[in-house]
Amino acid sequence: MSAVTDAAVIPESYFHLHLVSDSTGETLLSVGRAASAQYSVKAIEHIYPLVRTHKQLDKVISDLEEFPGIVLYTLTEPELRNRLKTYCMENGVPVLSVLAPVVRLLQAYLGGDPTPRVGGQHQLDGDYFRRIDAMNYTVMHDDGQHTDGLDAADVVLLGISRSSKTPTSIYLANRGIKTANIPLVPNIPIPGGLDELKRPLVVGLVASPERVVEIRRNRLLGLNATQPNDAYIDHDSVAEEVAFSRRLCARHGWPVIDVTRRSIEETAAAIIALLQEHRRKQSEAP
């Protein structure tokens, strides 16, 4: 489906980006957004997943006629692919198969012809079921639940309230990494045995007091439960919480990541790098 804005009211700082896929469209969306982020011009995304028939492609072409722009596609069916390319070329519409350059590079290196598979990266293989297993584990061990099973985790995240523990955990789980997260509260002891874990990587997440207070205020406003004098949003109290979490991690030798200016994806990437190093050291240990 394509959700668009009336072209008559779209300012010049916008452009239409059409993403046409015979699978879920996740690859196109990631590539399109990563490339668009390099420019100050905002992309109006028209997303067409599961395009596998000429009737479905008719909708794409109809939208292109009304909202011309750039077309990125991943189509394995030759007739559909050629029809879309022909339309774009005849009408001066920029078009690109985002996987074609990568496939050609692999073909030159590996030799032989590729075997096109629609949604091949989404097949129900061992990696897929590991991701499902990781997601189940992560949901079960969110926000300090079931701390008796922490040794089965790949990563354990520690942090005060509103330090992005849960969204980071879910993102990591989607990468197949079993992640538990535990809230840190001053004067409340951490779960027993946490400092003795060997297999999991334990990581502390911190943010600036100003950022934490801002997020907490917004949360309270959303819940219609604002309490101006509450220590939950008092700057000095929050600063002490942050200092407490830093001291705790330093005492146990756990790495700390400051998430103040990091996206969830950037935080997760830093954790994955730490996890790889952690596993390398474990494999080299006698």
Per DSSP, what are the bridge partners of residue 96? 72
- Strand order in 155-159's β-sheet? 179-183, 155-159, 201-206, 256-258
Cβ atoms within 10 Å, residue 8: 5
* Residue type, position 257, single letter: I
Task: Point out the annotated binding site for ADP.
Answer: 159-166
Cβ atoms within 10 Å, residue 64: 21
Q: How many CA atoms within 13 Å lie on the side-chain side of 162? A: 20
pTM over 0.85: no
Task: Point out the annotated binding site.
Answer: 159-166
* Residue type, position 240, single letter: E
250 CB burial (10 A radius; 0-12, 13-18, 19+): exposed
- Domains in the chain, CATH or no CATH each: 7-120 (3.40.50.2300), 126-284 (3.40.50)
Question: What are the tens digits of pLDDT across the range 81-126?
Answer: 999 999 999 999 999 999 899 888 888 888 877 776 665 555 556 6
Q: For every one of its 286 residues, what pLDDT tens digit does the chain have, with 9 covering 90 and above?
A: 444 444 444 455 899 999 999 988 888 999 999 999 999 899 999 999 999 999 999 999 999 999 999 999 999 999 999 999 999 999 999 999 998 998 888 888 888 777 766 655 555 566 878 989 999 999 999 999 999 999 999 999 999 999 999 999 999 999 999 999 999 998 899 998 998 998 999 999 999 999 999 999 998 888 776 555 588 999 999 999 999 999 999 999 999 999 999 999 999 999 999 999 999 999 888 7
181 CB burial (10 A radius; 0-12, 13-18, 19+): buried
